[in-house]
C-alpha cells in the first residue's frame, strides 16, 4: 500500500511529460518524483492502442515494483486514452491521474466560441476524446487538428540542439510543422468567427509555445494541462492522506532539491539529459537509462 514518504511516479512516451513534471514539482515542493520517458518506443501518438496499453502497463509495473510509488501521473494524453481505465482496474489501490485535452477550461475563456485543439492522431481519434468532445459539442465550435510528427520533431529538436549547440537550427522542423498545422486550422484572433483559444492536447507542444504564439498572435489564449494536473494530483494526495510533510523527506546537509527528482529513459540518455537541463534546470546527473521490457506486462 502507498505511504506518504514514497515518491510520485510520472511517465510519458518521451520528454514531453517534463512539462507536467515541472508543474508538479512547483506545486508539490516537498514530494519526491520518479519520471520515465519511454523514448525508446516513441512516439505513442502514431502507434496502435494495443501497443500503447502494453507499454503503459509495463511502465506502471516498473514504477510500482522498483520504486514503490504512492501515486501515478500518466503524463501522456495518448496513454491516458488507450489504457488508463485498464490501469485503474488492475491497480485500484493506486491513486491515478491521467490527461485529457483541456477542452473544458478552454470553454471558460473563449469569447468567439471557436476553439482549436491540437493533438496526436492517437489522442484525437480515441473513444475517450470523442466522448469528451460530444459532452461539450453544443457549447462551442471545435476545430480539431491531428499533428502528425510534431511531438517527434520536438523530441528530435532536443537531441539536435545538444549536437549543434544551436537551438534555432534544431527547431527548424518544429517551426515548419507548427506553421503547417496552425494554417490548416483557419483564422486565429479575437474577431467574430476566429479561433480565439488554442488547446495543446499533447504534453510536448508546450515546448513549442513560442513558435505557436508567433503564429496565432497575442490575442489568442493558449491552454495546456500542467497546472490543472498538478492541482488535481495535490487534491488526490490530500484526500488519500498521502501528502508528504516538509520534514519527512528532508534532505541531508549538502544535497539540493534536484535530488528529489530522478529521471529515467528507455531511449538515448543524452536526449533526456539535454531536455532536463533545458526545461527543468536540473543537472544531467539526475538522469539514467532503464530497460522496461514489455514482458513485464500483466493481463491487459
147 is catalytic: no
d(CA 253, CA 274): 27
Active site residue 64: no
Give the span between the Cα atoms of 271 and 73, in whole angstroms: 22
Cell of 30: 516537498
Annotated active-site residue in 147, 202, 286, 287: 202
Q: Are 41 and 65 in contact (CB under 8 A)?
A: no
Which of the following is catalytic: 76, 178, 286, 287?
Answer: 76
Instruction: Classify residue 212 as exposed, middle or buried by CB count within 10 Å of its CB (0-12, 13-18, 19+).
Output: buried
The grid coordinates listed for 9 are 511516479
SS3 labels along the chain: CCCCCCCEEEEECCCCCHHHHHHHHHHCCCCCEEEEECHHHCCHHHCCHHHHHHHHHHHHHHHHHHHCCCEEEECCHHHHHHHHHHHHHHCCCCCEECCCCCHHHHHHHCCCCEEEEEECHHHHCCHHHHHHHHHHCCCCEEEEEECCCHHHHHHHHHHHHHHHCCHHHHCHHHHHHHHHHHHHHCCECCCCCCECEEEECCHHHHHHHHHHHHHHCCCCEEECCHHHHHHHHHHHHHHCCCCCCCCCCCCCCCCCHHHHEEEEECCCHHHHHHHHHHHCCCCHHHEEECCCCHHHCCCC
Catalytic residues: 76, 202
Amino acid at each position: 500500500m502507498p505511504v506518504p514518504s514514497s515518491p510520485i511516479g510520472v511517465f510519458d512516451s518521451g520528454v514531453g511529460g517534463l512539462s507536467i513534471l515541472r508543474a508538479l514539482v512547483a506545486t508539490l515542493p516537498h514530494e519526491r518524483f520518479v519520471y520515465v520517458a519511454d523514448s525508446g518506443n516513441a512516439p505513442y501518438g502514431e502507434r496502435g492502442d494495443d501497443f500503447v496499453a502494453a507499454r503503459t502497463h509495463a511502465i506502471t509495473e516498473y514504477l510500482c515494483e522498483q520504486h514503490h510509488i504512492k501515486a501515478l501521473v500518466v503524463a501522456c494524453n495518448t496513454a491516458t486514452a488507450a489504457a488508463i481505465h485498464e490501469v485503474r482496474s488492475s491497480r485500484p489501490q493506486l491513486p491515478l491521474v491521467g490527461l485529457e485535452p483541456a477542452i473544458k477550461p478552454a470553454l471558460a475563456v473563449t469569447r468567439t466560441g471557436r476553439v482549436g485543439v491540437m493533438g496526436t492522431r492517437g489522442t484525437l481519434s480515441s473513444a475517450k476524446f470523442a466522448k469528451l468532445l460530444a459532452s461539450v459539442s453544443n457549447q462551442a465550435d471545435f476545430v480539431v487538428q491531428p499533428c502528425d510528427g510534431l511531438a517527434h520533431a520536438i523530441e528530435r529538436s532536443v537531441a539536435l540542439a545538444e549536437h549543434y549547440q544551436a537551438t534555432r537550427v534544431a527547431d527548424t522542423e518544429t517551426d515548419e510543422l507548427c506553421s503547417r498545422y496552425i494554417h490548416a486550422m483557419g483564422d486565429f484572433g479575437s474577431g467574430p468567427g476566429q479561433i480565439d483559444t488554442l488547446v495543446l492536447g499533447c504534453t510536448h507542444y508546450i515546448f513549442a509555445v513560442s513558435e505557436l504564439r508567433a503564429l496565432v498572435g497575442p490575442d489568442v489564449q493558449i491552454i495546456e494541462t500542467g497546472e490543472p494536473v498538478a492541482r488535481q494530483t495535490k487534491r488526490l494526495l490530500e484526500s488519500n492522506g498521502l501528502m508528504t510533510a516538509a520534514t519527512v523527506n528532508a534532505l541531508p546537509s549538502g544535497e539540493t532539491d534536484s535530488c528529489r527528482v530522478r529521471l529515467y529513459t528507455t531511449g538515448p540518455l543524452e536526449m533526456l539529459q539535454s531536455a532536463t537541463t533545458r526545461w527543468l534546470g536540473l543537472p544531467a546527473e539526475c538522469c539514467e537509462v532503464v530497460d522496461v521490457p514489455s514482458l513485464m506486462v500483466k493481463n491487459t
